[in-house]
A and B are shown apart, each in its own frame.
Chain A
Amino acid sequence: MSEIVIETNNLTRDFNKKLRAVDNISFQVNSGQIFGFLGTNGSGKTTTIHLLLGILKPTRGTARVLGLDTRSHGAKIRSQTGVLLEHSGLYENMTATDNLEFYGKAHRLSPKKRRDRQKELLVNLGLWERRHDKVGKWSKGMKQKLAIARTLLHQPALIFLDEPTSGLDPMAATALWETLTELVAREGVTIFLNTHNLPEAEKWCSTVAIVSKGKLLGVGRPEELKSGKSSQQVEIIGKGFGPETKQLIIHSLSGVGAIETGPDRILVELAPQAEAAPLVTLLVNHGYAIETVNKTQESLEDLFLNLVKE
């Protein structure tokens, strides 16, 4: 059974008495998932992570992480979680192993444990050969991988990643996600992910929370969030459509929603993940002449943009 690893109640944080960076946010994160915290720049994502780590104090409201209150048990929370914040936090004038060594010591790992974990993680991430390099010489992608090794060093149950792929090219970003998901599966960690990148949230997160200007606009599975608003629509332009076409589709295909027909145009609503091909094949096989097929899907992106606009 999954348990609640993060729980916030009306979490609020002001800066300089005027700017409300996080505004009355309440949500829960269950263990074992990748929880996406999605929002444009300045929507309060980083502040939220800082609040959850207990390094910023809430102006109002509460947050519990791993069952511990962030106000009173920050140190304990920090010892049981790993972080990759906005900046990687690596010491660029130190070597890769020195960076890991320092945080290993900070986490009170024994010398043997530090050595073993460093080797295990650096080998897994393909950085072992370069371990004595100064980190400053590395590419952004390598640095992010090393920073991920640092977050996992002490085998935390929960890690916070603040836009881990920002500044990476798409290839490096995908590579990072592949190693990340593999490591996560192996080590069984829950991930709290901040991102402003919608496809990323859609692709990798099991739950997504959308935030804008410090406010939480919605939480759900990516496909839930999508279908909650509208599903995909297929528009077919052709000839000879009529009420019998509608009957044909309803009787032959499953997962079909509302259908609108006109003489040369038919609009079919499909289930979120359904393909348009069977529909087209069906019509062609029954002798309809088809000119074009358009598929419109409300992606998380549309939803996100809509929600943010509202």
Chain B
Amino acid sequence: MFAEIAAIMWKEWRQLLQRTGGNLLVFTIRIVLSFSFIALIIPLEVNNGAIVDYSWNLVWITMPLAVVFGLVGFSFAGERETHTLPTLLASPLSDRALVLGKIAFPVTYAVFSSLIISLCLLVKANILHGNNGLILYAPESFYSGIITSFLLATFIATLGVYRSACAPTIRQAQTSLLLTVAIAVFLPLILFVATGFLLPQNIKQNLITSLESLNSFNMTAISLLALACVDLIAIFLVMKWFDRDRLLTVN
């Protein structure tokens, strides 16, 4: 199973590399340059030898979004556009490996991007403020950052693979993913606000006080745990839905 997922990721990587010119060195230089540029324009604050400004937290959120949105449309719709889908489906790769491999590639790429940018940021922080010793990330915010990046990327990639499997073209996959994500984000938000109006005053008060009693670490842990559950459910549903016959009869 891992070998199969690795095979799919390897293929996706070769294709990405070829799409962007085919030369690993050129690819790396381009990535490093563009990520350094992003790092350059992100504002930065250093306090007590650690990077504190929350703005860099955005890196963990925006990078996976950008990367996954850009890549995930290709997963199945791309194969459909290039007429490679039937042959891929006729391979011995299992359904599970196909779904997980197609999800894992953009996720890995997104987490990697986040890591490289945060590394660039670190370099920048040390160049600008590093006269009193080495500046590092506060460990808990760094780790929660990576995990956020990973979980968020997984969520979007899972929806993306699903939309891509349904869509005849990459463009349609991307458009429909945008809509799906918008719904997936706004619907709970609307529900949340609505429950705010509908819940009896005393329960609402209890909820607020219990939330206030949590420190920021616990808050983060709970949100990440919730996100992880959402991811697992999404992956489970997409795997259950996935079916070769269905993929071949999409029009």
Contact = CB atoms under 8 A, between A and B. Distances in A.
Interface of A: 15, 50, 53-57, 74-75, 78-79, 83, 85-94, 98, 101-103, 105-108, 134
A106 B87 contact: no
B17 to A, nearest CB: 9
A87 B94 contact: no
B11 A85 contact: no
A134 B14 CA distance: 12
A103 B84 contact: no
A92 B81 CA distance: 12
B86 A86 contact: yes
Given A56-B248, A98-B14, A91 B92 contact: no
B16 to A, nearest CB: 10
Contact of A15 (B6, B22, B89, B249): B249
A94 B86 contact: no
Interface string B6-41: 110011001100110010000000000000000000
Contacts of A87: 83-84, 86-87
A50 B22 CA distance: 34
B88 interface: yes
Interface string B237-249: 0000000110011
A107 B92 contact: yes
Contacts of B4: 106, 108
B7 to A, nearest CB: 4
Contacts of B15: 91, 93-94
Interface string B63-76: 00000000000000
Contacts of B84: 87, 89-91
Q: Interface residues of B toward A: which range?
A: 20 to 34
Contacts, number: 80
A55 B244 CA distance: 5
A89 B248 CA distance: 14
Nearest to A154: B92
Contacts of A57: 245
A93 B19 contact: yes
A134 B22 CA distance: 10
B86 A50 contact: yes
Nearest to B3: A108
Contacts of B128: none
A79 B91 CA distance: 7
Counting chain B CB atoms within 10 Å of each CB, which of A57, A75, A105 scores highest? A105
B92 A79 contact: yes
A15 B19 CA distance: 35
Contacts of A105: 3, 6-7, 10-11
Nearest to A79: B92
Contacts of A54: 244
B208 to A, nearest CB: 52
B93 interface: yes
B9 to A, nearest CB: 10
